[in-house]
Structure 1
Amino acid sequence: MPDNDAVTTPAQTPAQTPRVATERRGHILHIALDRVDKRNAADERMLQELALAYGELDRDPELRVGVVSARGDHFTGGLDLADIAPKLATGRLSLVPDGGLDPWGLQTPAVSKPVLLAVQGTCFTLGIELALASDIVVAAETTDFGQLEVARGIMPFGGATVRFPRLGWGDAMRWILTGERFGAAEALRIGLVQEVVPAGAELERAFALAEQIAAQAPLAVQATLAAARAALPETTDAVAGLLPAVQRLAATNDARRSAESYLTGKPVPFEGD
């Protein structure tokens, strides 16, 4: 299902070129990250537009399933540190505008309807965390994953420290604590993704699964999803500590050095201060 055949509408204001576009396909809301020139790296505006799209999915009774994908060759390069890092350090980062829902389900209740991801190319940091917060993930066989925050002087704050260990402690720590990259086969092995398909087939497969879900009784699907989530371990205290912890880290010299490295492309040694 070619992504460029869709007629899209911006998730925020028509005066701006949207970072996120939405399109309704029957009972399915297609949400597409669209900052191709930056490898879909997320700045504050992209995060807010994504939250608004999730709010739309949650509120509209005609919408039963969400499919999240990204235009271009990459799902996301992670955070746009030039925009996000200073706001993190000062506590000025605003992620969920009025009418939105936190796509990672940390600052607001999670969206009440199933969300499927189709990922390809680079899927770093918040992309992994969006996968962990979603219900079914389809990955292109060439997808490159990485939970890179420790290499940037900060820590994951989109739920990786809460949800990744549910897949298996050792597997989670292997990738969260080293910041190394891993491929789609490893993501399938550890349960981060549910299907791996040839590159270019991921969105079509995600839509096929979404259509199967959308054909079921919607109230039954939502009740089943809610019941399954209720069985998960309580993580309120862990979630509450994420933003304060990452704000402290973002204000360190190591985080400043990492931001400079991100902008210049030159590696810097961490000093632990």
Structure 2
Amino acid sequence: MSSALTVAPPSTPPAEGCIDTQVLGSVLLIGINRPAKRNGWTAPMFRQLAEAYTRLDDDPQLRVGVLHAAGDHFTAGLDLPAISAYLKSGERIIPEGLVEPYDFGRPGYRRRAKPMVLAVKGICFTVGIELMLGADIVVAADDCRFSQMEVQRGIMATGGATLRMAERAGTGNALLHLLTADEFGSAEALRLNFVQKVVPAGRELDEAIAIAQRIAAQAPLAVVATRLNVLKAIEQGQAAAVADFVPVQQRLANSEDAAEGVRAFVERRPAQFSGR
């Protein structure tokens, strides 16, 4: 049975849109829900998204998040008339103390610890690309249309594109798309390492859920530690990541999950991890 068959249909959203959530076992599905406006982002949607990311990290029963969208498109980007006042004033849309979905460590916000998988489709502009780059694994439908078009609107990308496009794809490739505001497809996004898999349209959510469920079956403490060590190496350098090897491994090796991993190996059965 297709995993997406277990996904509840989206709620009827208010005019300003909303973020839906659904729990599938240890996976938190997070749905962008404003299809009538191509999932254009408003302030309430940003706040609710941060609340959903925070719920993922704070609930010990949840191990992985999957971000997806209602309708035919992932997102057309910012609803500029609804957001422009925040851009002009510098006022923060997301309340401090929550997990910041772009995950680049702004003061006042928490960094996400647990993995996030994205399923993107159709139009995926501006904010959509930056949410992809702030996630961990991205599955794209083969019909995606990507564009980082802020310069076309007289503003700058401030959700992480200027940081991560060059990190993933090199300076020239990053500036090609950042400075021209051009549109590119799923094959180019895969070439640039912005997405990790491209699948036929309609299968992207199934594939994202399957990946999330595979991650959720692993030892949760080890998953989080592995993810954070990769990010530390990228952000702080190899030496900082290597310095964590011994203390982190010692902590993990003394966990209940490590003992279960050994028992499962000896008994030749799948491990049942508790996250302790």
TM-score range, shorter chain: 0.7 to 0.9
Give % identity: 46
CA contact (8 A) 1:75 1:119 kept: yes
- Structure 2: tracts of 5 or more residues without a match: 238-276
- Structure 1 distance, partners of 2:184, 2:89, is 32
Whichever residue aligns with residue 206 of structure 2, its letter is E
Write the mapping of 1:33-182 to structure 2, written as runs, cut at 5 A. 33-96=32-95, 100-106=98-104, 107=106, 108-167=109-168, 168-182=170-184
CA contact (8 A) 2:130 2:161 kept: yes
The structural deviation recorded for 1:109 is 3.0
Give the equivalent residue in structure 2 for 1:211.
213
Whichever residue aligns with residue 39 of structure 2, its letter is N
- Structure 2 distance, partners of 1:4, 1:220, is 28
The structural deviation recorded for 1:93 is 3.8
Matched residues, number: 231
- Structure 1 distance, partners of 2:165, 2:11, is 33
CA contact (8 A) 1:117 1:136 kept: yes
- Structure 1 distance, partners of 2:163, 2:206, is 30
Write the mapping of 1:240-255 to structure 2, written as runs, cut at 5 A. none
The structural deviation recorded for 1:85 is 1.1
The structural deviation recorded for 1:229 is 0.7
Change beyond 3 A, Cα 1:225–1:5:
closer
- After superposition, the C-alpha distances for 1:181-211 in whole angstroms (9 at most, x for unaligned) are 1000000011000000000000000011111
CA RMSD of aligned residues (A): 2.2
CA contact (8 A) 2:10 2:33 kept: no
The structural deviation recorded for 1:110 is 2.2
Give the equivalent residue in structure 2 for 1:184.
186
The structural deviation recorded for 1:66 is 0.3
Give the equivalent residue in structure 2 for 1:22.
21
Choose 137-146 or 83-92, whichever is displaced more.
Answer: 83-92
- Structure 2 distance, partners of 1:184, 1:116, is 17
Q: Give TM-score, length-normalised by structure 2.
A: 0.79
- Structure 1 distance, partners of 2:33, 2:137, is 21
Change beyond 3 A, Cα 1:118–1:76:
same
- Structure 1 distance, partners of 2:75, 2:64, is 22
Choose 167-176 or 187-196, whichever is displaced more.
Answer: 167-176
The structural deviation recorded for 1:87 is 1.8
Give the equivalent residue in structure 2 for 1:202.
204
- Structure 2 distance, partners of 1:228, 1:5, is 31
CA contact (8 A) 1:44 1:93 kept: no
Q: Give TM-score, length-normalised by structure 1.
A: 0.80
Give the equivalent residue in structure 1 for 2:271.
none
CA contact (8 A) 1:96 1:102 kept: no
- Structure 1 distance, partners of 2:124, 2:7, is 23
CA contact (8 A) 2:28 2:56 kept: yes
Whichever residue aligns with residue 63 of structure 2, its letter is R
The structural deviation recorded for 1:2 is 3.7
CA contact (8 A) 1:104 1:110 kept: no
Whichever residue aligns with residue 19 of structure 1, its letter is C
- Structure 1: tracts of 5 or more residues without a match: 236-273
